[in-house]
Each structure stands twice: as C-alpha cells, then as structure tokens.
Structure 1
Amino acid sequence: MADRYYQTDAAPNGQVSDPNPQIDVICGPLLNYKNMDVTPSASIWRGSVLIVTKPGPTHPRLLLRPTGPVGAPNADLANSQGVSIDGLRLYEDPEKAFWRFSLSVPIESYEASWEYTIPGFRLDDGNDARLSWNFVVPSLNQSMRLMFHSCNGFSVGTDMDAWVGPSLWNDVLRVHTKKPFHVMIGGGDQIYNDGIRVDGPLKEWTAIGNPHKRRAHDFNNSMRARCDEYYYANYVRWYNTEPFRAANARIPQINIWDDHDIIDGFGSYTDHFMRCSVFRGIGGVAFKYYCLFQHHVAPPLSTYTTDAPQTMQAVNGTAGADPRQLENTFVLENQPEDDSWIVGGRPGPYVEEKSRNLYMRLGKRMAFMGVDARTERTRHQVNYPDTYDLIFTRLEREIAAANGDIKHLIVLLGVPIAYPRLAWLENILSSPIIAPIRLLNKRFGVAGGLFNQFDGQVDLLDDLDDHYTARQHKRERREFIQRLQDFSASHSVRVTILGGDVHLAAIGRFYSNPKLGIQCQNDPRYIVNIVSSAITNKPPPKAVANLLGKRNKIHHMDHDTDETLMDMFDAQPGGKEKSAAWNKVTMPSRNYACITEVDTPVANGTDQAARYDSSVVPLPKDGHAPLHQGEAGAGTHHAAADGFSSNSGMYGGLDVAIRVEIDPQDRDGTTDGYGFSIPPLDEVAAQPGARPKSRGASMRNHSLRPQSKHQSTRPQTAV
C-alpha cells in the first residue's frame, strides 16, 4: 500500500512523536467523514478521528491499516501495510487538549474494512479501553449506505426511569454488523444542552423575574468561562455514554446542529430577546464545541463577551480575539477551511459566526447537502437568501464535475419540510385571548408550564416557529422546494430530504399533481422527506401523533405540486400500541432510518438500465394512496423493512427503513422495521407545468414563470 494514499498531520515545531506514549484520553475516539476526492487516476476517501486528552508534552499518533474486503477471511493481515499518522493539536487549555488525526485512504474495487489503533490509549475514567476500531469504506462503484438520526438526548424534565438511555444505538450496531453503514448522519440535537438553565450557570439568570432585567443582563468573561465549562463537560459526559460511544468510534459521522446543541428554541424567540447578550454569548460557546466535537476543526480564537469590545461584533466572520480567553490556551490558526463546508457570506444575527453548510460526495452516485438552519435563523427566516445562492452554486459546480455520475442528492434539514400544518394552533397561541393569561402568569405564576422562561411567550410557539410550515416561513419554504425541483429537472437527479426534530417518524413527499399524469420515475417534483426523530429523546403522547394524523391533508404547494404524508405504519411495533390503529402516517416511538441504494444488476459485463415499472401502479387521484410501486405495500412487510437486505428490486433507487423501538425499557433497543423504496429519476423530458431552468436565481427573486394555459405567472399562496 503506497504511502502517497495517506495524508498525515505533522507534529508541531518538528517535535518527534514518542513511539510508546501513554495517552490519557478523556473522550473519544470520534470518527468523522469529510469528503471524497475523485480523479481519473484514483478515488480517495477522507475522514478524521478526534480524541480529547489531558494536556501535556505527549504527542499522540494513530496507526491505520487495511484489513481487506468486508466479509472476506483476514488470513494475510500480518502482511497488510499501514501508516502512522501524527495528531494535529486543534485546541489546548490547562484542562484538556483536542487532537485530530486526518485519514486519507484509497477507494478500492471492493468494499473495504480499515482498522485504526492509538498506541498508549488509556481511558481517563478507568474503564478498559479497546485496542482497535474498524470502519468501512465503499467500493469504487458503490454509493454509501446511510444511517440517519436526530434528537440524540433528553429534554429537561424527562422521566429517566421511563426512558433508560440511548439504547437504540444497540440496534444501530446490530444492523451495522449485518451490513455496515458507511456514514451516520446527525440531523441536529446530537446533544441536549438545555440543562444549562436548570442546573448550570444560567440558572440564576433564568430565575430573574423581570424580562427587561433578564434581557439587559451582561455576559462577562466570568459567565462565559462557566458556560464554557458546562458545554465541555456535557459533551464529554454524553459522548462517553454507551452505546453511543461505541457507534462514534466505528461509523463515520456527518453532523449539522439545531437548537438543543445550543439551547432549546435558539433563534426562534422574539428578535429583541434573541439579541440579548446572554443568548449571543452561549451561541458563541456552543459553536466552539460544535466545531471541535462534531466537525473536528479548530474553534474561533474567542467567543462573545460584554466586557471585551473586540468580541462583540464579528470581524471577518468571527468574533475578535480576547487576550484573556487566550491566556494559557492554544488555538490552531491559519488552517484552510474544511472543503466540505459552504461558508455563509455574513455572520448570523445572534451568533458572531458565519453559517457552515455542507456538501459531500457519498460514493459513486450519491451527493449530500446539509443546510445549517440554525446559525442564520430568526423567527422570520431560516437562512439568508444569499446563503441559498452559495449552496446552489456549489451544487451546480459539483454536479458538473461529476460528469453525470450523481443520481441522488440527499438534503439534510434540521426540521421536516413536508409536514402537517398547525396554523390553527399558531393562531390560538398568538391570539389576544392569551394576553390575560400571560399577565396572570407574570404576576402570580398562573399556567407556569404554558410559558417559556426566556421571553415570556407561549412555550410551544418557538417549536411551531421552527417549522418550515409556519406561516412566516411559507414563502421561503416554497421557493426552496421549487429550486430543488428545478435542480432535479435540470440534471435528472432524484432529491430526497432528511429531517428530524419532531420526536416521531413520518414520510412526507412532494409530487406532481396527479392531473398532470406524470409517473414518479419521470417526476422531478417527487421529493420524499424522511422524518426520523428521536433516536433517544422521548416521543410525544400518542394523542399528539393522532392529531397530526388527522391534519394530514392534501396540500397544494403551488399549481403543479401537491404534498402529504404517506401511509407507512401498517402495524404497531411489537404489537404495542403507540398510536391509534387508523393512524398510519405518524409513529410516536423512538426511531432511526437506514438508506441504501439498490444496486443495478449486471448482465454480460454491462449495467442493465433496469427500473421498477411504476406504471404497474396507476396514478391515484391524490397522495393518500401509493404513488408508485415502491410505496405499494410500504410497512412491515416491505422488502426494505429490515434495514439491511436491500432486495426490493428498485434498481438504481433507494431502499428506506425506519427502525422503531418496541419497548423503551428494553436496554437492548429491540426494534421493528418499516420499509418503502424511492425510484431513481429517469431522464426528464419536457413535461406539463415544467418551469424553465432557474440555476443561480436568488431566493429573493425566485418565482414561477408561466407554466401552462391554466396558470398565472405567480404561484398561489400555499395551503
């Protein structure tokens, strides 16, 4: 194995690594996926491993070696060549040091297993350490096999006797053993930091009764240091919790953040309150540890405080350097931006940092786009219009460079985008009838559970305002989906959206109005939204899931696009009642998703253009019925339901499984599976209602052109 395949991070200042160091590890290893380099001569998989250690002179290293094809005997392991990779120090203070090992390995003609070890690795908590860890890289002709999860933690006040911890990760590891995941995608809330206001340094601030005093409270360096300590300790505690810890070391991660990675509702409270110093301060501290733990990159030099003017306004997209925060502290500087990031053009309104959106190649025929929907979020926007432009410019560049290889685009959002409306509930909670109740709450504590502890608004409103279907996000939502549809039509790429946040499972989809007569395999408007949440947090009461099921109407996003949830849950998991028997669209039980491309069979040495014949299922009158054969029979009896077989016959498409917990008291995390398939998108011809290409159009100005003799030049208001 030639050394040119590997990238190593050299030891600083010419320092020579001790060949037999003792490494006192506080947290890790955490394995990340970074991207692929695809050239005519070679394809390279790139990732990283992070460990957190006690500070000191020891410079850790990692040994990496191939262990052969997945599932093949490992008889010649003694002859396999490996490489030693020096750790790169990202950050160090008197309590801890963060080290990154950058991995770069060749993609072979076969699905390959790789092993890494860290000489001298010793866990600081006294537990026995593993000697080695393995991960799997797809073959040259494979698209990556994905696991998707969200809401990996517990909200404040959860009954921990009823919910026994992150037990579904045991099922993830079982499925991974049967058929390895190449990557696991975290859709936000990988950690819950809400306790900072209950038993952490914001407890006294939260208890201030006068909202004006609470809003005017400063965020000095002392409070920042205490918040910094809280976020760090909470990350270490959670990322050391089994079996989540075991998964982190074996399955490469891709993550975006959401509100609980900062604090519940961050970005969706009233603007004048979100701009208060305490929120801006914890936004900066949360971003620091999000960079380190979830992305393995060096954090900003400093974060926002009110007693250091240079930190209070972003300069070149980040907070200015505060000498007090750098005292006895090392922060790696002058590193190129991670090439998987699409960095926003300007800082967020409440965090002195630019957004970090993601683009990555996921194997031969699949690409990934992750939208940072938290850094720029306000109550009235999800992302800046220019950020969407940056994202789609990158997509156009990458799709052109792929020379037609990319057939699927996976889009990650923090919250669902094809989901039942709750406008009626928004109207009630925002109506004048709430005002006297709020006054009684302020004066006498009446209905205390109804109002949040920050801006005094109804607690549910920040959750509702987070949703793309909230009335203030309606236009942004519609224009974003239309832009994805245009991209899909322009390049014959099937778009699939992942979303979490809502603590239940569902499958939403956009699709062409059946009156247009377009089969799904030819329909660029057919975009599935896989809603998988939560893998750890408790689900909502079944009454809430049933209410959402009743609200599952046919919505008309525009003249040509309808949307609704799909019937998916044909039985209760393990026979245990989770929702009403009639409710087949929402599942209030902990869950995660598996996504696998279905390989096209090979005959006579060439790939057959085999496709599922969706004409077998006549187009229904609306989306309450299956739209193609891959949706027919969706549920427990579908071929994709087990999460690993991938034998549905949907060649070139995706098999999707939602793995649903049966009993939260079962520490083994036993699940039942529900499956369906997503067809590939055949070459898109001119279609009724097709929009002209709008590549590069700004979200500010993006609008429908005339589409048919029945349509006006502007879309109707979405339902």
Structure 2
Amino acid sequence: MTLPDNAPAASSNGQASDPNAPVDVICGPLINFKNMDVTPSSSVWRGSILIVTKPSQSKPQLRLRQAGPVTNDMATNGALASPSAVAIDGVRLYEDPLKAFWRFSISVTLEPYEARWEYTIPGFRYAEGGEIPGSWDFAVPSGSQSMRLMFHSCNGFSVGTDMDAWVGPNLWNDVLRVHAQKPFHAMIGGGDQLYNDGIRVDGPLKEWTAISNPHKRRAHGFDNNLRARCDEYYYANYVRWYSTEPFKAANGRIPQINVWDDHDIIDGFGSYTDHFMRCSVFRGIGGVAFKYYCLFQHHIAPPKSTYTTDAPQTMHAINGTAGADPRQLENTFVLEETTEDDSWIIGKRPGPYVEEKSRNLYMRLGKRFAFIGVDARTERTRHQVNYPDTYDLIFSRLENEVAAANGDIKHLVVLLGVPIAYPRLAWLENILSSPLIAPIRLLNKRFGFAGGLFNQFDGQVDLLDDLDDHYTARQHKKERRIFIQRLQGFSKAHSVRVTILGGDVHLAAIGRFYSNPSLRIHSEHDPRYMVNVVSSAITNKPPPKAVANLLARRNKLHHMDPSTDETLMSFFDRQPGGQEKSASWNKVTMPSRNYACITEIGGAVPQGENGEAAIFPLPADGHAPLHQGEADAGSAHPAADGFSSSSAMPGGLDVTVRVEINPQDRDGATDGYAFSIPALAYVPSEADSRPQSRTRSLRPRSLRPRSSQDARPRSAVN
C-alpha cells in the first residue's frame, strides 16, 4: 500500500484529527477514481473519497485495509486480508457556516490478483439519523488487468415527469446486482449525473423565468443575493439526489469518473442563442453549477468565487477563473490546491458562458485501456462544441501517454456527453427553424398559444436546443468530421482500437464508423471501425415508442468522408421481458432505461492479415454485421447478463446493454443484449491509403442494401 502525501493540505486545514470524535455526515461517502501510475515494476491506483459534514468538525480520518482477492465467496477473503488498516487524514476542500467538504486521497499498489479494499470512517454517523454502514468496499484490478467499466448517463428526472409511472432510480439495483457477481472497477458518468432544471420551476429562478419580456429577462442582473439562493438550491439538490437509494449505495462502492452536460447546470445550457447565453443569469448559474460539479463530482476545491453582477472582479476570468469576492469568502474556507491532479487536461482559456477553463480527463484504466473524457459543455456554443486548441491539447496528451506506455495500450475509450454516430435529424431542424414557425411564435408571445412548443429562455422552439446539442447538427458537422478523422489517425498510427461512449438521448443504440466496404478492409484490421455505445437514460424516462421508431427509419447509410461510412447496428433481437418497447421491425433503437457494461476479453490478439477472426465475409454495407462479434449480437450473446464473458475475439471488448423491463418494478429487473468489439491489428494496405473521389457511387450498385428490413432511403452523403 502507498500512502498519500497530505502534508501541504493538512497544514492549510488546521484542525487536529480525533479518531474518537463523531463525524456528522450530511452526504457521502462518494468514491472516485483519479488515475494510475504505471511503471515497468509496479502500478499504483489512485482515487479519492468525499464526505460532506456539518461545519466545525475535527478533521476526520479514513481507515483503509485490503480485504483480500475478489471472490464470489466473501468468507474466504479474511485469510489474505491485511491484518491492520492504515489511517488517512481528511483534507478540507471547502467550508461555510452550513457544511464542510472533506477529501481522503488514497493510493494502493496493484497486486498480482484482483483485490478488494475496505474502508471505514471512525465516528461516522448521519446528521439526520439513519442506519450507519459498518464499512464500504471497492474492487481494484490486478496489475495485468484492464478495468471493467459501467457506463451511464441521464441519472435524474426532467421537470414534469410523471412520478407515478417512473418511480425512482431503480436501475441502480441491477447495477449493484451485476457488481456483486463481477465487480466494476469504475462507473463512468456521461453527463446529467443529476437534473438541476427545477431551479426555474420551484427554485430561485422561478420569478426570472416568468418575466415575459425577453429583453428584460436578458438584462436581469445576477447579484450576490440571487447567487446565494442559487448556491443553496444546487447544493441541496446534490445532497438530495446523491443520498437517494440505491444510487447512494453505488456511490460509496464503485469509483466514479464523470463529465458534465447541460442538466448538471440547466437544460440546454450552451445551446441557446449566443446573445441570450451571455446574459448574467445564465453566466451566474454556470459558475454556481461549476462550483458543486468540482466538489461533488471531482472532489476538488472550487473557485473562490463565482460570477455576480455586483462584484466586477468576478465578471471576467483572470488566469482562467473568476476573481475573488470578499463577500463570498466571509466565514468561508476554500482550499488552495497546490498542484492539479495529472488526470486533468485543462483548456487554455475560459468558456464563453462560464468564467472557467474546460476540464477534460485523461486516465489509464488498467493494463491496456486509456481513457479520454471530453468536457463538451464548458466551451460549448450553438456553433461549437470545443475550441480547436482544446482538441490539440487532448491529442498531444494522448500521443505522450501512448509513447510512454511502450505498446501496452490497446484500447482508447472516449467519453462524450452526446452521441456522435447517430441518425441525422436535419429535416426536423429545418422545419423547426423555418419561417413557418414564425406565426406560431407570434401567437405564443401574445396569447400563449402552443406554449409547450417554445422554451422559457430565448423563445425558440424547445426541441431546437436538443438538436443543436448533437454532433450531427448541421453547425457541428465539420467539427465532428475533423474530430473523428483525428481519432482515426491516432488509431492507425498506434494500432489502438477506439470506442466511444455517449448518452443524452434517453434510448439505447449502437452506432459505428467503419471503412467504406469498397476498400475491402476487415474490421479486425480497420482503424476506422469505431463503435459509439449509446446508453441513456439510467433514470430519466425514455422517449415515446414512435420517436424510437422514427429514428430507426432515419438509420441511413451515411458517408462521413470518401473512406468512412456510418450507421446504427442491428442489436435488439427481441423486446425486453416480452414487453413491447418499440416496433417489432426496429432492431436499432431501444426506448427503455438502460446502462452499459464494458469488459476486456482475455487472450492474445490475433496478429497480421490472417488473424482468425478475419475469415468473416465482408458485408455489402453497415446494415449487415461487419464481423463475427456483431453477427452474434443480441440477447443470446454470452456476455448479455453483464458479468459473463465471451472468448470469440481475444483482446477485444464485450459490450453489454442492460435494459429495464418494467419502470414500476422497484427491483429494476433487466434484460441484457451484448456484442463484441475486435482488438485492432492494423495492417497497412494499398487500398486503405488510396484516395477516393467523393461521389454518390461510393460502392457498386450490387453492394447496396436490399434487406426488406430497411424500408428507408438507401444512402446519404454527409
């Protein structure tokens, strides 16, 4: 075991530790994964645990011990467990007259076996009463393992959800059941870890939202009083949601990795019109949301102050953060972090609507996995997702890390807030932004006609902010294409398979990019083959069946560029639990709550052009399976239960999507669907490098789809 160096933080915190003192806990514990330090001789896992307590506490301690190897029989663990625990002092991140945030930084050396670690917090008791767990545990991979991952998004309810039909975050019960069978080493939150939209319905922005004149609404100030009320709202909403079972139980046992999205701030943040996004109220709540995002989701100290219109020093970022406001620091402690954790890739300049720099993530997830989490919200506008220099920082970090890994990294997992391989809805964008909507908007302003069609912020059609969020929106197409091509170049240069995670859309699907079939490249050797696992929502309600079916009918074959095609994969071979969620012909979109599991398949990767898996016949197009791992996809796949493994594609990935059967079942019973992604053994070929003319006839007519299933247009060019 390696202990953290807490000396600088301890001296700035002041309080002495008293292991016998009671610790009055408001929220927590929450466990995070931070990164791994990998050397030829050893690997060290680093993480943190957060608790929120009443103020003026003695410095709490955490005691950590190894509980032996991971086995299905917990009774056998004691024989190999560490005989004693190590005490780790808490570091105070933030304290005001109502609460204090404490971080315990932990690091452990990986063993030759997958290990279970146990921690306790002496004196722990809930401030509001309730049962006190004796201990919590978490699993760490062996030195030769890659991490087993769980991916989720949209973990909350939109305003107006019928709670009689959607009764709580029940799917976390299934997460815990699967975790008990085969532990997850990390759970990846793809955004909307909670929903803060209620701030405009029953919170401090209710009066502001009710201002009917858009010019007055835009000019409204965000003074310190309004900031304080919004601060109270965000904090209370985090405490409420992160203390809700069974999500609460998972928070203390499965290390989290998170990026944020709009609902972590407010619905549509970043995707409304620029002149409205720059209003003081939006900039103000962006700062407050960032503060609690730092504390609850990343266990780091927040900025000393956030934006207000009555403190000029907070209105323009200095060195990438808002200036200090003495009023906000009154009776308040904010830790000054001496160094940034090496998991961060921090943007060069603040976002346009939040006075903070973006925080992207790089992490090593075990032996053969690397991970990038893209902060696609801090820099977002209606016309950009991220600054070009932020992409440069990300790819520069990737190149350095892969070079230092000496060939060990075989998979790159890329986390995005929204899907990037997904059906186009340009036709809907055109309708909703066309002059045809103008008369309806006028009637809405004057008489409230069609009130549900328009949002309460900039008066635009409410659905437009969701469409503008998508990488496939017309204004993001160029940025999307360049990003995918850079990932392809990285994959080709290092023979690393890229897999993308994206949520947001409240249904499950599997998108993928792949080489134009005319190039005759098998997936096992294809650096353009990149799967986008779309998993959403784990808690929020899904869209109506008709929406899922409409998206399925829009599942065209798209040509991203002359060498790259994309489409959704046929995956859902039957309805979950026999309950009809979509049309029987719809095999590509599943409108039901869900989450995903990602597990490395053991065994050596077949090398060269004659790898065993490459005998799978090349398909005519992406509406057919591209390799054996897709041919076996669905409910009968060996990994469909979320904890079993397949063996057909050594060195590849098993991807499982667990789908809720009945939203009123509080046990959260699910059906599983799975497929496998092959490892990449890139083989340069003349065909792969041959330039292609960009025409509609990118493949012979004889190779175009003729399946009776595909009752939709045959092709589309991006």
What TM-score bracket applies, with the shorter chain setting the length? Answer: over 0.9
Does residue 120 in structure 1 map to residue 94 in structure 2? no
Q: TM-score under structure 1 normalisation? A: 0.94
Match of 1:63 in 2: 63
Letter in 1 for 2:674: G
Per-residue CA deviation, residues 7-26 of structure 1 (Å, 9 max, x unaligned), is 44663366431121100000
Does residue 444 in structure 1 map to residue 447 in structure 2? yes
Per-residue CA deviation, residues 235-257 of structure 1 (Å, 9 max, x unaligned), is 00000000000000000000000
Does residue 665 in structure 1 map to residue 648 in structure 2? no
Offset of 1:454 from its aligned partner? Answer: 0.1
Does residue 516 in structure 1 map to residue 499 in structure 2? no
Q: CA RMSD in A?
A: 1.7
Does residue 83 in structure 1 map to residue 86 in structure 2? yes
Spell out the pairing of 1:482-561 with structure 2 (5 A cutoff): 482-561=485-564
Tell me how far apart the structure 1 counterparts of residues 148 and 248 of structure 2 sit (CA, whole Å): 20
Spell out the pairing of 1:321-332 with structure 2 (5 A cutoff): 321-332=324-335
Tell me how far apart the structure 2 counterparts of residues 484 and 666 of structure 1 sit (CA, whole Å): 41
207 and 361 in structure 1: CA distance in 2 versus 1, 3 angstrom threshold:
same
Q: What secondary structure sits across from 1:549 in the alignment?
A: helix
Spell out the pairing of 1:392-407 with structure 2 (5 A cutoff): 392-407=395-410
Letter in 2 for 1:625: A
Letter in 2 for 1:324: R
Tell me how far apart the structure 1 counterparts of residues 548 and 615 of structure 2 sit (CA, whole Å): 32
Match of 1:640 in 2: 639
Tell me how far apart the structure 2 counterparts of residues 627 and 541 of structure 1 sit (CA, whole Å): 30
Per-residue CA deviation, residues 42-91 of structure 1 (Å, 9 max, x unaligned), is 21000000000000141100000001111161243675232100000000
Q: In terms of mean alpha carbon deviation, does 658-667 or 680-689 score higher?
A: 680-689
Per-residue CA deviation, residues 478-507 of structure 1 (Å, 9 max, x unaligned), is 000000000000000000000000000000
Q: What secondary structure sits across from 1:433 in the alignment?
A: helix
**2:594–2:658: 8 Å Cα contact kept in structure 1?**
yes
Q: What secondary structure sits across from 1:76 in the alignment?
A: helix
Per-residue CA deviation, residues 260-315 of structure 1 (Å, 9 max, x unaligned), is 00000000000000000000000000000000000000000000000000000000
**2:526–2:680: 8 Å Cα contact kept in structure 1?**
yes
358 and 78 in structure 1: CA distance in 2 versus 1, 3 angstrom threshold:
closer
Does residue 45 in structure 1 map to residue 28 in structure 2? no
580 and 68 in structure 1: CA distance in 2 versus 1, 3 angstrom threshold:
same
Per-residue CA deviation, residues 655-685 of structure 1 (Å, 9 max, x unaligned), is 0000000000000000000000000000332
Match of 1:708 in 2: 691
**1:600–1:608: 8 Å Cα contact kept in structure 2?**
no
Q: In terms of mean alpha carbon deviation, does 630-639 or 528-537 score higher?
A: 630-639
Q: What secondary structure sits across from 1:11 in the alignment?
A: helix
Spell out the pairing of 1:210-359 with structure 2 (5 A cutoff): 210-359=213-362
Q: Which residue among 476, 479, 482 is the counterpart of 1:476? A: 479
Q: What secondary structure sits across from 2:628 in the alignment?
A: coil
Per-residue CA deviation, residues 195-221 of structure 1 (Å, 9 max, x unaligned), is 000000000000000000000000000
Q: What secondary structure sits across from 2:561 in the alignment?
A: coil
Q: Percent identity?
A: 78
Letter in 2 for 1:652: G
Offset of 1:6 from its aligned partner? Answer: 4.6
Q: Which residue among 574, 579, 583 is the counterpart of 2:577? A: 574
Offset of 1:339 from its aligned partner? Answer: 1.1
336 and 78 in structure 1: CA distance in 2 versus 1, 3 angstrom threshold:
closer
Letter in 1 for 2:620: K
Tell me how far apart the structure 1 counterparts of residues 93 and 686 of structure 2 sit (CA, whole Å): 52
**1:311–1:321: 8 Å Cα contact kept in structure 2?**
yes
Q: Which residue among 375, 387, 393 is the counterpart of 1:390? A: 393
Q: What secondary structure sits across from 1:630 in the alignment?
A: helix
Per-residue CA deviation, residues 513-554 of structure 1 (Å, 9 max, x unaligned), is 011000000000000000000000000000000000000000
Q: What secondary structure sits across from 2:52 in the alignment?
A: strand
Per-residue CA deviation, residues 604-650 of structure 1 (Å, 9 max, x unaligned), is xxx98699733342111100000000000211001121111112421
Tell me how far apart the structure 1 counterparts of residues 683 and 562 of structure 2 sit (CA, whole Å): 19
452 and 678 in structure 1: CA distance in 2 versus 1, 3 angstrom threshold:
same
Tell me how far apart the structure 2 counterparts of residues 718 and 377 of structure 1 sit (CA, whole Å): 26
Tell me how far apart the structure 2 counterparts of residues 471 and 455 of structure 1 sit (CA, whole Å): 20
Letter in 1 for 2:313: Q
Match of 1:703 in 2: none
Count of equivalent residues? 694
Tell me how far apart the structure 2 counterparts of residues 261 and 710 of structure 1 sit (CA, whole Å): 43
Letter in 1 for 2:584: A
Offset of 1:335 from its aligned partner? Answer: 2.3
Match of 1:675 in 2: 674
Spell out the pairing of 1:373-388 with structure 2 (5 A cutoff): 373-388=376-391
Q: TM-score under structure 2 normalisation? A: 0.95
Structure 1: 5+ residue runs without aligned partners? 602-606, 691-706
Per-residue CA deviation, residues 142-179 of structure 1 (Å, 9 max, x unaligned), is 00000000000000000001000000000000000000
Match of 2:703 in 1: none
Q: What secondary structure sits across from 1:525 in the alignment?
A: coil
Spell out the pairing of 1:406-425 with structure 2 (5 A cutoff): 406-425=409-428
Letter in 1 for 2:25: V
**1:612–1:651: 8 Å Cα contact kept in structure 2?**
no
